[in-house]
Amino acid sequence: MARKTTQASGAPKGPVRSERKAADGSGSTERAQSLKEKFKHGAKHTLRGVRLGYRKTAGEVAEAMGAHENFIKKIETSPVSQCSVATLMDYVEALGARLELVVVLGNGGRAILVDPEPAANAPAETP
């Protein structure tokens, strides 16, 4: 971790994180724009790369998922195809994002997969 330098008064140099945020809350808009620029449509990223883009540590993601940090490191270094969809969803949601599954069709089209809507008159399934 980088060491903060202090002025003679003992106060940290430069603006404090809360001072850097605009009073009108535009800090979140700037962050969203920054993420949008990092993750351009069609670009390829690793899970670790996405996590770093969100400025999250493996420990923070693990805590949000209720998992151990070693588990996060394992899924980040394994092929994505070896990870369950449920685990990928949990991981991405721990970042504050949403996972979309896309089928690339033979004609170049794309289909985004979604969960089926339960039928209105169908009985509830029991586990």
Using CA atoms, how far apart are residues 101 and 39, in angstroms rounded to an integer?
Answer: 16
Q: Are 97 and 89 in contact (CB under 8 A)?
A: no
Residue 18 structure tokens: 């809360």
Q: pLDDT category, 27, cuts 50, 70, 90?
A: low
Average pLDDT, the chain: 75
Query: Is-above-0.75 flag for pTM?
Result: no
What's the confidence (pLDDT) of residue 41? Answer: 60
Task: Compare 20 and 10 and report the one with higher pLDDT.
Answer: 10
Q: What percent of the chain has pLDDT over 90?
A: 46
**pLDDT tens digits, residue range 60-97?**
999 999 999 999 999 999 998 999 999 999 999 999 99
Give 94: exposed, middle or buried? Use CB within 10 Å, 0-12, 13-18, 19+: buried
- Average of pLDDT values for 18-22? 33
- Average of pLDDT values for 34-56? 78
CATH 1.10.260 at 44-113, yes or no: yes
